[in-house]
Amino acid sequence: MSRVTIGLLGCGTVGRGFVELVERERARICARHGVDLHIKKILVRDETKERAGVDRRLLTTAALDVLDDGCDVIVELIGGVHSAGAFIRRAIANKRSVVTANKALLAASGSELFASADAHGVTIGFEASVCGAIPIVRVLQHGLAGDQIDAIRGVVNGTCNYVLSRMEEGTTFADALRCAQERGFAEADATLDVDGEDAAQKMRILASLAFDAPIVQERVVGIRWITQQHIERARAGGNVIRLVASVERVASGVALRVEPCELDANDPLANVKDENNAVIVRGRAAGEIVLCGKGAGALPTASAVLSDVIAVSCI
């Protein structure tokens, strides 16, 4: 049994879910994986805020209190690229493995961070950065390692899918988006979601795992222009509209596309409802593998973070 200490950066929705899950699963993880996980310090912006289930004595507002405290693993859940990037760089320089759910940072600086982690002999776990609870990162890294991946296609933005699902019931775009925000799927500023950029970031991460080739074509269209008329016209033909994101091999590299598509009822992506996500991986030998599940939410995302913490602790 090895004791593993965790420094947690950020204690928002996913951070609190992670704290809850570590407590709940500790005994099972000890027994099954031989690691005894303990959260040692938690970086927050405001120490005085009420956080149910979180031990106040662990909180600090000073990042270095967490980063330089000798924790075995640093879990970054603050989001954004600037502070998060600086903290992760310092953790790597300190030779600590890092687990992050930060897709924006990986999309912006992934190759630099992975190279630095390699050079320092540590690992970056990032399962939670793409599609919440769906273990798509691990499936691409390991589960389908024996096969050449030809294409990946999916519904990977829960906010857009929730909005489109509500519009199918007659709700307007604006009302559906507000509802997504109230239910906590969409950020207060949902621009990255509805413009397709969030989906594009996720596909860039998946492409880097699946293909040893650069992205040479990009077309990213969001759902802002979709009206009730588009939805009705699709429905009249027995179809539905989904924001479909894809990456596929082309002659000179990889083509990335994010755009609303009309899908017939037999398409596995047509049946993805509300805030769920689905990813279809097409392997040359394996054929199509479909993975569906919760693409967001505190506990589903925290479960992906925790799986990564176990993986980096067991290396």
Residues forming contacts to its own copies in the complex (CB under 8 A) are 17, 21, 24-25, 28-29, 31-33, 127, 133-135, 138-139, 142-148, 212, 268, 271, 283, 285-294, 297, 299-300, 302-311
**Residue 112: how many other CB atoms lie within 10 Å:** 11
Residue closer to its own copies by CB (options 27, 62) is: 27
Residue closer to its own copies by CB (options 149, 177) is: 149
Six-digit token string for 190 = 């949902």
Residue closer to its own copies by CB (options 32, 95) is: 32
Please give the Cα distance from 69 to 91 (Å, whole number). Answer: 10
- The least distance separating its own copies from the CB of residue 220, rounded to whole angstroms, comes to 27
- The least distance separating its own copies from the CB of residue 315, rounded to whole angstroms, comes to 10
41, 83, 92, 87: which is closest to 66 by C-alpha?
41
Please give the Cα distance from 301 to 295 (Å, whole number). Answer: 8
- The answer to whether 294 and 133 have CB atoms below 8 angstroms apart is yes
Please compute, for residue 252, the number of CA atoms within 13 A of its CA located in the half-sphere on the CB side.
3
Residue closer to its own copies by CB (options 26, 40) is: 26
Please give the Cα distance from 8 to 25 (Å, whole number). Answer: 17
Residue closer to its own copies by CB (options 223, 312) is: 312
- The least distance separating its own copies from the CB of residue 179, rounded to whole angstroms, comes to 20
- The least distance separating its own copies from the CB of residue 50, rounded to whole angstroms, comes to 23
- The least distance separating its own copies from the CB of residue 278, rounded to whole angstroms, comes to 8
Say which of 49, 202, 273, 294 is annotated catalytic: 202
- The least distance separating its own copies from the CB of residue 147, rounded to whole angstroms, comes to 4
Stretch (H or E) spanning 6: strand 2-9
- The least distance separating its own copies from the CB of residue 174, rounded to whole angstroms, comes to 28
| Orientation of helix 298-313 relative to helix 13-33, angle to 10° | 40
Residue closer to its own copies by CB (options 24, 219) is: 24
273 an active-site residue? no
Please give the Cα distance from 269 to 276 (Å, whole number). Answer: 10
Residue closer to its own copies by CB (options 152, 194) is: 152
DSSP summary character for residue 231: H
Contacts of 64 (CB under 8 A, 6+ apart): none
- The answer to whether 97 and 90 have CB atoms below 8 angstroms apart is no
- The answer to whether 82 and 104 have CB atoms below 8 angstroms apart is no
Residue 63 sits at the vertex; the CA angle it makes with 193 and 70, to the nearest 5 degrees, is 115
Residue with structure tokens 């760089």? 89
132, 104, 150, 101: which is closest to 277 by C-alpha?
132
Active site residues: 202
